[in-house]
Structure formats: structure tokens, C-alpha cells
Amino acid sequence: MMNVFRRSMSSVASLKQASKVVCIGRNYADHIAELNSARPKQPFFFLKPTSSVLLPGEGPVIRPRGVDLHYEVELALILGKQVKDLAAEDEKTAFDSIAHYALSIDMTARNIQNEAKKKGIPWSIAKGFDTFLPISNLIAKSAIPNPHSVEIYLTVNNEVRQADSTELMLFQIPRILSDISKVMTLEKGDIVITGTPKGVGPVVPGDVMRAGIKVDGKELEESKIEVAVEESTSSYIYAET
């Protein structure tokens, strides 16, 4: 039993060695509306650094000083093999390429992102601070027979803020993996997060976020995330670019 436990923990820890984290933006219509964004004609994606990954039990999410910190709960895909130039209609290869699922919270410095959008400059900083990607334990594929029909939720201080079905995704997983793989090769171990539903909002130091996945109304134990928010003690203070 101990050897099984160690192998499991090693797999979770290996997420920090992923070559990249690819994030799908604007993949739920109501979320697009709440941020007054344009609906994309094809999957829109960006990168987070693997240094932003926060494993279960590693500690709190750290809010940099001067940052308006927002949560975005998302279903995550953990790749088990290389994917390159995948055809969108090749659903079997798309799902065969996934080794595990997980739940993640894409933390965002909203004021930094909004400034960057307004000025037309990159907003990697808004997504890239350390601890800005809390992630759950790995979830076996067998536990999620249909990833396009599960509920993902997030609470702040036990108040429900996000709770929607992945059936509301504008672009489903085969199309997502296809579009990414035609631009950049997805490698074994890479993390793909698939977009957030409506209800995003701020958290402040002292808040506690909890999140999870429900399949047919039953919560998956391995999907649970519980993480507090703390203020940074770093010398960094956000200032307008």
C-alpha cells in the first residue's frame, strides 16, 4: 500500500515538471458576458508558467500587494502522450491522449489583466505569479466517463460562487486539443485547463476557497481543493505599466 501511495504522490508532484500549462479562455458564454469580452470564433488560449502550480497541501494562494485577485475554477486535462497536429474530428485520439483529469483554479490579477487589455500589451503577469494555479489530486479517467457532463463548483468562505456543467463549453475537448496541437506540440505531462463558467470574482487575504467536481450529483473526493488566501510579504507591489 505504501508503494502505491508513493507512486500516486510522485505523479501529482510531477505536474510541476510539465513543459507548459495551456489555458483556454472564453469557453463559457455567460463568463464571456460577465467580463464584456468578445465571443471567440475558435478556441483562444494562453500560457501559465508551471511555477504557478500549487499542489494539494502546499500552502495558501499568495495575493501580491496591489492586486485585485480573482478565482476561475476549471476542469484540467493531464496529457499522457504527445499530441501534434491532431484532427478535430479524431475524438478517439484526443481522449486517448489524456492520462488523468484534475480540477484547477486559474487565479488572475484582474486589474493587471484589464490594464494590459486596455493598452494592448501582454498579460502574462496577470496569470503567472507563484501559487496562481491551485490544482487537485489526479482523477482517474474512469471516474469521469463523460468530461462534457460534470459539474464544477467553487465556494468562498462556504458561499457558492461558481457552479455549472461542463456541457456549457463552447468548444469541447477534441477541438481544444486539436487547435492547440496545430500551434504547439503538446507533450506528455502537459496541463490543459479548459475554461471557466460564470461567477468569477475577487478573493482577499483571510478567504478560503473550496472547489470540486460532481459526477451524476456525487462529489469526487480526489477533485476537492481547499486553499486559503494570504497577503504577500514580498517587496513586489503592482504599479501601472
pLDDT in tens, 220-234: 999 999 999 999 999
Burial of 9 (0-12, 13-18, 19+ CB in 10 A): middle
- Per-residue pLDDT tens digits for 46-99: 999 999 999 999 999 999 999 999 999 999 999 999 999 999 999 999 999 999
Residue 7 has pLDDT above 60, yes or no: no
The pTM assigned to this predicted structure is 0.93
Listing DSSP states for 18-86 in one string gives -S-EEEEES-BHHHHHHTTPPPPSS-EEEEE-GGGEE-TTS-PEEE-BT--EEE-EEEEEEESS-B-S-
Question: What is the Cα Rg of the chain in Å?
Answer: 17
User: Pick the residue with more confidence: 91 or 39?
Assistant: 91
| SS3 at position 140 | strand
Q: Are 70 and 237 in contact (CB under 8 A)?
A: no
> Residue written as cell 505523479?
11
Q: What's residue 29's pLDDT?
A: 86
Class of domain 16-231: alpha beta
Domain residue spans in the chain? 16-231
Which three cell numbers, joined as nine digits, stand for 174? Answer: 477534441
> Residue written as cell 480573482?
70
When pLDDT is cut at 50, 70 and 90, the band that residue 5 belongs to is very low
Which three cell numbers, joined as nine digits, stand for 161? Answer: 460562487
